[in-house]
Amino acid sequence: MNERIGFIGLGTMGKPMARNLMKAGYVLAVHNRSRGAIDELASEGAVPADSPLEVARASDVVITMLPDSPDVEQVVLGPNGLLQGAASGLVVIDMSTISPRVARSVYGASRERGVSFLDAPVSGGETGAKAATLSIMVGGDREALERCGPVLEALGKSIVYMGESGSGQAAKLCNQVICALTILAVSEGLLLGKKAGLDPETLLSAVTGGAAASWMLSNLGPKMTASDWRPGFKVMLQQKDLRLALETARDLGLPLPGTALVGELFRAVQAHGRGADGTQALITALEDLAGG
- The pLDDT value given to residue 167: 98
Q: Which among 164, 187, 222 is the end of a domain? A: 164
| Phi, psi at 116, each rounded to 5° | -90, 140
Residue 232 has what pLDDT? 87
Q: How far apart are CA 107 and CA 115, in angstroms?
A: 8
Same domain, 158 and 174: no
Which residue is catalytic, options 23, 130, 157, 172? 172
Kindly state whether residues 199 and 227 are assigned to the same domain: yes
Question: Residues 23, 138: one domain?
Answer: yes
**What range does the domain containing 214 cover?**
170-289
Per-residue model confidence as pLDDT tens digits over 9-60: 999 999 999 999 999 999 999 999 999 999 999 999 999 999 999 999 999 9
Q: Are 116 and 91 in contact (CB under 8 A)?
A: yes
| pLDDT digit string, tens, across residues 188-238 | 999 999 999 999 999 999 999 999 999 999 999 999 999 999 998 999 999
CATH number at residue 152: 3.40.50.720
Q: Which of 117, 136, 164 is the last residue of a domain?
A: 164
Assess contact for 162 and 168: CB atoms under 8 A. yes
CA 141/CA 165 separation, integer angstroms:
7
Look at residue 99 in the predicted model and tell me its pLDDT.
97
Judgement on whether residues 29 and 145 belong to the same structural domain of the protein: yes
Query: What does the mean pLDDT of the chain come to?
Result: 96
Residue 157 — φ and ψ, nearest 5°?
Answer: -100, -15
Number of domains in the chain: 2
Indicate if the pLDDT at residue 1 is higher than 70.
no
The mean per-residue pLDDT over the stretch 121-129 comes to 93
How large is the average pLDDT for residues 266-292? 95
Q: Residue 15: which residues within 8 A CB-CB, separation 6 or more?
A: 37, 40, 41
Angle between the N-to-C axes of helices 100-112 and 167-195, in degrees from 0 to 180, rounded to the nearest 10: 150
Looking at the structure, tell me whether residues 119 and 174 fall in a common domain.
no
Mark which of 108, 136, 164 sits at the end of a domain: 164
Whether 15 is catalytic is no
pLDDT tens digits for range 77-95? 999 999 999 999 999 999 9
- Whether residue 182 sits in one domain with residue 159: no
If asked whether residues 18 and 150 sit together in one domain, one would say yes
- Phi, psi (deg, nearest 5) at residue 264: -65, -35
DSSP at 197 = T
